[in-house]
Structure 1
Amino acid sequence: MNQMTRLVPAPLPDLPDPDVCWAAFLRRDRAMDGLFVGCVATTGIYCKPSCAARHPRRENMSFQPDPAAARAAGFRACLRCHPDAVGRDRLAVEKAIAFIEAAEEVPLLETIAAHAGYAPHHFHRLFKRETGLTPAAYARGLRAARLKDALGREGRVTDAIYEAGYNAPSRAYVDASQHLGMTPSAWKDGGRGVSIRWRTVDSSLGAMLVAATDKGLCRISFGEGQAELHARFPQADLQPADAELDAIAARVAMLVDDPAAGADLPTDVRGTAFQQAVWAALRAIPPGETRSYGEIAAAIGRPGAVRAAGTACGDNNLAILIPCHRVVRRDGSMGGYAWGLDKKQALLAKEKGK
């Protein structure tokens, strides 16, 4: 994605399979809050999946797509988990995001919270819970995404910086370092002035490209080589691997069979605030487990952004290390994978011990 994804409230998806709903209640999965509610026949109440109350027997629980449907069926809201508040909170966050995106400069937390109708301290926690980012981090990511887009259109770097909403180049260069992985001029010039070391390494699933800047890994992929890396960064200084990258590449190859081997590998991948939130959610999926695209969208507080979550998975530059192969469609089918469905199936089979 070259621009910050604009996400608007969307109709709730169809009610997940009852077994999926029940499993979410058993693990008190906050990521599923807002996607459905559970109705307890013995008490007459409905709860959100993360409710801390004692679980009822399975035969006493049914599921509805939203609180309104539960109330229509004769149930009342749980006074412990307040399931109706989930929708209100998410609407407030959507309102705040629209406000941030319309602002010419990064607004103050107090201004954003007041616009959403919340106290600043409370809204700061709420916004981070729903999006995985603070309001300020979201705003910085948005502005950096605008800078990335402007760099592709404007003739001069300075013009692109001011078009993106920066008052001075200094802040733009700080944000670019965090979100683009290189300076604005280097990004515009296809990596000019950036040194990238690279090599291919054999794994149990075939050859892998491993490339890194001085900050960390910037590309891990199957079936690529120098030509593909050059196409991504045509002006970068591509250098053969040194001893440090050789050691890192060996650990990358081990990830295919031992996902824990890469827990502390350095990375240098940058994206929009939304992409970063999706990638963090991917890294939180335990090996051997899968999540649907809808569950990933819900995990970052954006249940209506299923398609955008799928796009962010496709924008992943670090195969296996950021495990987008653990995301499947809601019906359990494979969905897509940038490096081929055979690789995805093989990775999942290895992680499940098959």
Structure 2
Amino acid sequence: MIDAEIAWAAVQRRDRSFDGRFVTGVLTTGIYCRPSCAARHPARENVRFFVDGPTARAAGLRACLRCKPDEVGRDQQALAKAVAMLDADDAPGLEELAAAVGYAPHHFHRLFKRATGVTPAAYIRAKRGKRAEAALVNNDRVTDAIYDAGFSGPSRFYAETKGRLGMTPSAWKNGGAGVMIRWTIAETSLGPMLVAATDKGICRLSFDEDESELHRRFPRASIEPADPAMAELVAGAVEAVERPDRMPDLPLDVAGTAFQQAVWAELRRIPVGETRSYADIAAAVGKPAAVRAAGSANGANNVAVLIPCHRVIRTDGSLGGYAYGLERKQALLDREKAR
């Protein structure tokens, strides 16, 4: 089923994340297009939406020569093949990757980034970083873990994972040893809020939690009460709850897989007062079939409100889930709409 209002809104903003989910039929010209087609928008009364190209052709329409809507399936197949190749231990470079899927390198580079939110090179770095995290847990020596993860040496590992792991390799291996995390409980109109931060930024923002949660997540980190230097971060976090239209751009110290990072980036793009479905988010990161995975990535968010996972609801309009209670989720949405 196609929601005509959502589809028309996607067409008006030329939203590439909806390509492949439906095609736009223009009755006056007899053609059908991708939602993102750059051609001039037709009048709404002349538009019909179809689930795919064959359905539109059965209605007597022909494919647009400008946006070539029937090639969306080819793009998706190429992306799936490319991701499988990049997930292999011996990942290819851009030219080899593009040749394998039948695209020019520069075109496929743009296609891959548009679909996943990251370049092929960044995708490989993220995969290596995740392998390194696992290797650091399973190896006694950091150097062995670096080589096991596929890096050519320690210098390359440090260069590629700087700022992504949120701590040094040794600290990761030792459950956060050597990392200082400061915390406080801030009072908000939605209840007590835990704010915790490293020297890089906020690493945990949650409701109804206390210091014990930090010890569980970072068992070997140094966990201390907030100092005066953290006051600005705390004030900004409270402002994000109380005045979402004035949400400050606060530094975050979070890490995740390439897919999780892409989902979190999409969450931060949702305007205040608006919501998206889990299916919308999956489509926006180039994986329309990965609705469950998008939901899992949404739930893996460690920084509530600042990465607004509460703005994601079910396709039928119901709230879905929320780690801190549906009443709090509804309250956040209500005040954002009011703003």
TM-score, structure 2 as length reference: 0.94
1:204-236 CA distances to partner (integer Å, 9 max, x unpaired)?
111111111111111111111100111000100
Cα deviation for residue 155 of structure 1 reads 4.0
What's 1:76 paired with? 62
Contact persistence 2:87–2:127 (CA under 8 A): yes
Partner deviation per Cα, 1:158-195 (whole Å, 9 max, x = no partner): 33323222221232233443322112221122111100
User: Partners in 2 of 1:345 and 1:139 — Cα distance?
Assistant: 38
Cα deviation, 1:275-315, whole Å, max 9, x if unaligned, reads 11111111010000001111111111121211111111111
Deviations for 1:253-288, whole angstroms, at most 9, x for unmatched residues? 111122244432111111111111111111010000
CA contact (8 A) 1:176 1:182 kept: no
For residues 178 and 66 of structure 1, what CA distance do their matches in structure 2 show? 42
Kindly tell me: are residues 96 and 206 of structure 1, through their superposed partners in 2, closer, same or farther at Cα, counting changes over 3 Å? Answer: same
AA aligned opposite 2:78: A
- Do the aligned partners of 1:179 and 1:272 also contact (CA within 8 Å) in 2? no
Alignment match, 1:247? 232
Which of 79, 82, 87 is the aligned partner of 2:73? 87
SS of the residue corresponding to residue 325 of structure 1 reads: helix
The answer (yes or no) to whether the contact 2:240–2:248 under 8 Å persists in 1 is no
Q: Secondary structure at the match of 1:151?
A: helix
AA matched with 1:35: R
Partner of 1:166: 151
Contact 1:257 1:351 in 2 (8 A): no
Amino acid at match of 1:333: S
1:38 matched to which residue of 2? 24
Quick one: which amino acid aligns to residue 121 of structure 1?
A: H
**Distance across 1 between alignment mates of 2:98 and 2:177:** 41
| Alpha-carbon displacement from aligned partner over 1:40-85 (angstroms, at most 9, x marks no partner) | 2222211111223333333332222222222233221112222122
Quote how far apart the aligned CAs of 1:152 are.
3.3
Aligned residues: 339
Query: 1:202 matched to which residue of 2?
Result: 187
Query: Residue 341 of structure 1: CA displacement?
Result: 1.3
- In structure 2, the gaps of 5 or more residues are none
1:182 to 167, 176, 187: 167
Aligned 8 A contact 2:63 2:69 in 1: yes
Bigger Cα displacement from structure 2, 218-227 vs 255-264: 255-264
Q: 2: distance between equivalents of 1:160 and 1:69?
A: 52
Equivalence for 1:29:
15
Superposition RMSD on alpha carbons, in Å?
Answer: 1.7
Structure 1 segments, 4+ long, off by >4 Å, are none
Choose which of 98, 108, 118 in structure 2 pairs with 1:123: 108
Secondary structure in structure 2 of the residue aligned to 1:332: coil
Alignment-derived partner of residue 235 in structure 1: 220
After TM superposition, give the deviation of residue 109 of structure 1 in Å.
1.5
2: CA distance, partners of 1:66 / 1:169: 49
- Distance change >3 Å, CA 211–CA 167, structure 1 → 2: same
**Is 1:275–1:312's contact at 8 Å kept on the other side of the alignment?**
yes
Distance 1:157 1:107 in 2: 26
In the alignment, structure 1 segments of 5+ residues that lack a partner are 1-14
Q: Which has the bigger relative contact order, CA under 8 A and spacing at least 6?
A: 1
| Identity of matched residues, % | 62
> Normalising by structure 1, what TM-score?
0.91
Does the CA contact (< 8 Å) of 1:203 and 1:254 recur in 2? no
Partner of 2:47: 61
Amino acid at match of 1:273: A
Cα contact 2:25–2:49 (8 A) shared by 1 = yes
Distance 2:154 2:52 in 1: 47
| Corresponding residue for residue 4 of structure 1 | none
